[in-house]
Amino acid sequence: MHSKVVIIGSGPAAHTAAVYLARAELKPVLYEGFLANGIAAGGQLTTTTDVENYPGFPDGIGGSELMDAMRKQSERFGTQIITETIAKVDLSKRPFKYWAEYEEDKEPHTADAIIIATGASARRLGLQGEEKYWQNGISACAVCDGAVPIFRNKPLVVIGGGDSAAEEAMFLTKYGSHVIVLVRRDVLRASKTMAKRLLANKKVTVMFNTVGHEVKGDDKGLMSHMVVKDVKTGKLETLEANGLFYAVGHDPATALVKGQIDTDEEGYIVTKPGTSYTNIEGVFAAGDVQDKRYRQAITSAGSGCIAALEAEKFIAEQDAEVENNLEQEKNAEKGNNVVVPEYRSNPLL
């Protein structure tokens, strides 16, 4: 199967790109994956209960509900959605080749342009009680979930020692009664300025040489306590905490294009600033797979729009170039009075 443009991904970036490309009548094909990277189609939002900061939903909306709506909108305009995971791509020349999972030994599908919107996943720590209280007290995004009622005026915990952890902890002081930051080492990895601000905040307590050990909850199924461990003495301590926020990094889903597309030291796809352009002409990147700073549904959707508009422009330019070359060939034949060989006009061939 050949397509003008293929989208790999299933989150806000992928579906926004699909809507724009479908309305431009480019008949996009979107591969949403089957539990790609261990996450259901729809991406990280499917692991979120209430989304309160996406425009247009004054009462909030469930993460899965929001992604279902985006998927329906993509289909409404004619996007072909395939629930298969892309296992391999060849971006060495156009048309680009790609293979679905379990079909690597078959003939490849091809595309004139590809949008990579495979996202990123928050690193988890595998603490006792993590699975039970995920999204019932445990989150990997303070900006996304910090204002949720279960965290307001409650003691909260942040795990991490870098700039992101410091930023999230200070953000959470707007909502929580107090924020405890657990740092494995005896020093913060955050920049001096950020570390100074964090340590000076009266609503923050930093516990050095300390890691998370277990998450406990109440009879309502919500997190209520956090057991922490001193890495030097091995001593366990139980803290009252109604929220736990991981700030230990994300893993971009770039294994598919590793070695073909330029990535930074953390594995994120490198794009030309302000665009979705990668180092390969005709390949575009959108969403969290190329954004390690904001990582919001709305910014992902915006970058999906950018990728679609740039892919549309690229395809239009390629089509115009082909038409121009054909026109030049026709004019050259006419100018040279070329006699068309009989086999070229034979209806039997």
pLDDT tens-digit map of 138-197: 998 888 888 889 999 999 999 999 988 999 999 999 999 999 999 999 999 999 999 999
Pair type for strands 80-82 and 96-100: unpaired
Known catalytic membership, residue 141: yes
**Marked catalytic residue, from 59, 105, 112, 145:** 145
**Is the pLDDT assigned to residue 329 strictly greater than 80?**
no
**Is the pLDDT assigned to residue 346 strictly greater than 70?**
no
User: For position 37, what pLDDT does the model report?
Assistant: 61
**Marked catalytic residue, from 141, 163, 230, 251:** 141
CA angle 11/253/15 to nearest 5° reads 15
Determine what percent of the chain is predicted with pLDDT higher than 70: 93
User: For position 252, what pLDDT does the model report?
Assistant: 94
Place of tokens 């964090």: 198
Please state which of the four CATH numbers 3.30.450.20, 1.20.810.10, 3.50.50.60, 3.40.50.2300 is assigned to the domain occupying 130-246.
3.50.50.60
pLDDT band (50, 70, 90) for residue 129: very high
pLDDT band (50, 70, 90) for residue 348: very low
Q: For residues 321-341, give the mean pLDDT.
A: 67
Determine what percent of the chain is predicted with pLDDT higher than 90: 74
Q: For residues 329-340, give the mean pLDDT.
A: 62
- Residue 226 pairs with which residues in a beta bridge? 215, 239
Q: Which of 9-23, 53-67, 276-290 has the lowest mean pLDDT?
A: 53-67
Contact 140, 246 (CB under 8 A): yes
Residue 293, number of CB atoms within 10 A of its CB: 8
Of residues 38 and 136, more confidently modeled: 136
189 Cβ neighbours under 8 A, 6+ residues apart: 161, 162, 163
Pair type for strands 80-82 and 61-62: unpaired
Query: What residue ranges do the domains of the chain occupy?
Result: 2-121+250-319, 130-246
CATH number of 2-121+250-319: 3.50.50.60
Pair type for strands 2-9 and 109-117: parallel
Q: For residues 249-255, give the mean pLDDT.
A: 91
**Marked catalytic residue, from 112, 144, 288, 291:** 144
| Whether the domain at 2-121+250-319 and the domain at 130-246 fall into the same CATH topology | yes
